[in-house]
Amino acid sequence: MRLLPAVALLTATGLVAAPALAATTPYVDKRTTLDALSLEDFQGTVVDDRGVELGGIGSGLFALGSNEYWTVTDRGPNGEIGDTRTFIVPEFTPSLVKVRARGTRLDVLESIPLVTPAGDPVTGLPNFAVPGDPAPFAGDGTTLLDYNANGVDTEGVVRTADGHFWLVDEYGPSIVEVDPTGHVIARHVPAGLEDDYAAAGVDYPVNGSLPADLSKRRANRGFEDIALLSDGKTIVVALQSSVVVSGDRDRIITELVSFDTTTGTTLHRYGYRFDAASTFAAGTRGRDLKISALIPVDQTHLVVQERTDTEARFYTITLDPTDPLVTEADKALLVNLAGVAGVPGKVEGAALKNKSTLVIISDNDFGFVPRAYAAGEDVDPSGVKTVLAEVKLP
């Protein structure tokens, strides 16, 4: 697979006008912060928000123009206590959130909770017991919660011309189609898993449309983002990290999958090899590397983010069905944000605003300190806010 340098490639695809821009240092030009909004005020079905404010919307970013974006929350306020996964507000349901950046504020314009065909909240609870995945517990870390076959842990969003949203989910991993009012139309999972969802009593159609071995995803490392290509119907999704391979916890090859939204079928699959862990901060291991953002360029080109919790670098690649593995030779660096002042931590969503501006958004994990909380006890705020930033590219 031959790849042009990043500037030449983006010029060829119309995003950068020739001649190529002079090399400069990337810098944060604007930063906006999500205003405080209690979960009870945000979502009427939340009975007790335990002091948690709206957050977690940085999992995905879909640009609408005029500084407006669709984002999506993940499964809701949850934390890890050792090997235990707690759900502080288990009745929370993942939601689509439309925002606008204005001055230093990120304002919520609209929200659409995800619901079943009957209109019931899907919740963010896991679907059924999966080997290696933690069971769901209440905030105290000792009270076991019920599974929910309808639950999703959404991590990326695009919207097609018919107004439908297409999301990716970590649990299946799965691709989820949602109508304009938030009703789940269908969920696409690795082949064979559809029977498990049926047995668990799912309330919407589940299809085994994806490669079967993607069900071997690592715990909490399912699909992490989604990109809509220029034909308006093809999406590309990314598995956050390598599937489980016995004896190789630090494997650095993960998966990209292209999918036809009109037929509900997988088109192509590509292996994607991360940069060597040694090229990141000291102590980084292969298991720490993740893809969390995809940005479409045109029908055959994509920007892929490689990150840890403290670093993010963006590469332009070519999607070539005849070459099933993207390696270092196939990647052109667009920008490395390591050490750039003003870049928030845990960048999980990104978009190109124009030829010289990258927009990024952070996942603040709902802004609370993860620990065991007694029943009814309010959480300790972490002070971490959701930040959307504009980065001027070199």
How many Å apart are CA 3 and CA 330, to the nearest integer?
A: 6
How many Å apart are CA 166 and CA 203, to the nearest integer?
A: 18
How many Å apart are CA 236 and CA 153, to the nearest integer?
A: 18
Q: Is the peptide bond before 126 cis (omega within 30 degrees of 0)?
A: no
How many Å apart are CA 337 and CA 389, to the nearest integer?
A: 12
Q: What is the CA radius of gyration of the chain?
A: 20
For strands 301-307 and 312-318, give the pairing.
Answer: antiparallel
Which structure tokens are listed for 227? Answer: 């990109």
Residue 77 contacts residue 385 (beta carbons within 8 Å)? no
CA dihedral 309, 312, 316, 322 (to 10 degrees): -30
pLDDT at residue 24, as a whole number: 78
Residue 203 contacts residue 118 (beta carbons within 8 Å)? yes
Residue 164 contacts residue 158 (beta carbons within 8 Å)? no
> Which of these, 129, 106, 128, 5, lies nearest to 57 by C-alpha position?
106
Kindly list the domain boundaries of the chain, sorted by start residue.
6-392
Residues 6 or more apart whose Cβ sits within 8 Å of residue 155: 59, 60, 72, 74, 167, 168, 169, 170, 222, 223, 224, 225, 240, 292, 348
User: For the chain, what is the mean pLDDT?
Assistant: 94
pLDDT at residue 309, as a whole number: 85
pLDDT at residue 20, as a whole number: 41
User: Does 290 score more than 50 pLDDT?
Assistant: yes
In 35-181 the beta strands, taken as DSSP E runs, fall at 61-65, 68-72, 78-81, 84-87, 95-102, 105-113, 136-138, 154-159, 165-169, 174-178
For residue 13, what pLDDT band results from cuts at 50, 70 and 90? very low
User: Does 16 score more than 70 pLDDT?
Assistant: no
Which structure tokens are listed for 114? Answer: 């995800």
In this predicted structure, which of 226-230, 263-267, 308-312 has the lowest mean pLDDT? 308-312
**pLDDT tens for each residue of 322-365:** 999 999 999 999 999 999 999 999 999 999 999 899 999 999 99
CATH number of 6-392: 2.120.10
How many Å apart are CA 204 and CA 355, to the nearest integer?
A: 41
pLDDT at residue 263, as a whole number: 98
How many Å apart are CA 185 and CA 207, to the nearest integer?
A: 11
CA dist list (Å): 12 to 18, 157, 236, 298, 328 = 9, 27, 21, 10, 21
User: Does 72 score more than 60 pLDDT?
Assistant: yes
Q: What is the pTM of this model?
A: 0.94
For residue 23, what pLDDT band results from cuts at 50, 70 and 90? very low
User: Does 8 score more than 70 pLDDT?
Assistant: no
Residue 228 contacts residue 160 (beta carbons within 8 Å)? yes
